[in-house]
């Protein structure tokens, strides 16, 4: 049985992803999540909020942000889109590179070869490199772009998979985003 706060979390998350082709499954059938139920098979937002919670949205875990995933049939790495949004170098990420540190579970960002900051994949907090000036302060425009990347790529930054409210696209035999 879904709690009221879980329903609200699911509703907010699913509505944000509607324009980007959100998919759901009951373990057997893949559904298009939609306000317009003309495509078959499809399910409405209300279908995701049923008390039995049998139909769950299909998302990628937050750790997928550094890996190649499928989005609308295209293979891409969300981090490459995020560096454009972060704009650490002032050139929409053109001169920004990144490296994933598996041991510390963080992403390090470099501009012209020098490290400027890092981002924890647990908290998604960005920490500037000590003693260096850099443009790691993000404004509303950057935050909007970051969340748009999460929605477009179906990245689960709210831990819905961990809460049992969504299914990981990585464990499915047939990834509906291919």
Angstrom distance (rounded) from CA 142 to CA 128: 16
**pLDDT given for residue 133 in this prediction:** 54
Interior/surface letters 143-165, b for 16+ CB within 10 angstroms, e for the rest: eebbeebbbbbbbbebebbeeeb
92 pLDDT higher than 70: yes
Average pLDDT over residues 108-112: 88
137 pLDDT higher than 60: no
pLDDT band at 132 (very low <50, low <70, confident <90, very high): low
Beta strands 167-168 and 42-43 are unpaired
120 pLDDT higher than 90: no
pLDDT digits (tens, 9 = 90+) for 46-87: 777 776 768 999 999 998 999 999 999 999 999 999 888 877
Beta bridge partners of 155: 60
pLDDT band at 13 (very low <50, low <70, confident <90, very high): very high
Q: What is the 3-state secondary structure (H, E, C) of the chain?
A: CCCHHHHHHHHHHHHHHHHHCCEEECCCCEEEECCCCCCCCEECHHHHCCCCCCCEEEEEEHHHHHCCEEECCEEECHHHHHHHHHCCCCCCCCCEEEEEECCCCEEEEEECCEEEEEEECCCCCEEECCCCCCCCCCCHHHHHHHHHHHHHCCEECCCCCCCCCCEEHHHCCCCCCC
**pLDDT given for residue 125 in this prediction:** 74
140 pLDDT higher than 90: no
**pLDDT given for residue 66 in this prediction:** 93
134 pLDDT higher than 60: no
Is the pLDDT higher at 61 or at 94? 61
Closest by CA to 23, choosing from 33, 37, 8, is 33
**Which tokens sit at 171?**
């464990």
Average pLDDT over residues 100-113: 89
Average pLDDT over residues 100-104: 91
């Amino acid at each position: 049985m879904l709690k009221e706060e879980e329903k609200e979390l699911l509703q907010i998350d699913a509505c944000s992803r509607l324009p980007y082709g959100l998919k759901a499954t009951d373990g057997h059938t893949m559904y298009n999540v939609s306000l317009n139920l003309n495509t078959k098979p499809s399910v409405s937002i209300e279908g995701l909020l049923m008390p039995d919670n049998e139909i769950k949205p299909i998302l990628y875990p937050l750790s997928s942000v550094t890996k190649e995933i499928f989005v609308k049939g295209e293979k891409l790495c969300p981090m490459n889109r995020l560096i454009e949004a972060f704009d650490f170098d002032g050139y929409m990420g053109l001169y920004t590179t990144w490296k994933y540190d598996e041991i510390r579970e963080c992403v390090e960002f470099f501009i012209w070869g020098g490290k400027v900051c890092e981002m924890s994949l647990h908290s998604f907090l960005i920490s500037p490199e000590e003693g260096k000036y850099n443009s790691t302060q993000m404004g509303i425009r950057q935050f909007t772009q970051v969340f748009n990347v999460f929605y477009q790529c179906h990245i689960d930054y709210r831990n819905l998979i961990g809460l049992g409210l969504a299914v990981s696209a990585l464990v499915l035999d047939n990834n509906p985003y291919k």
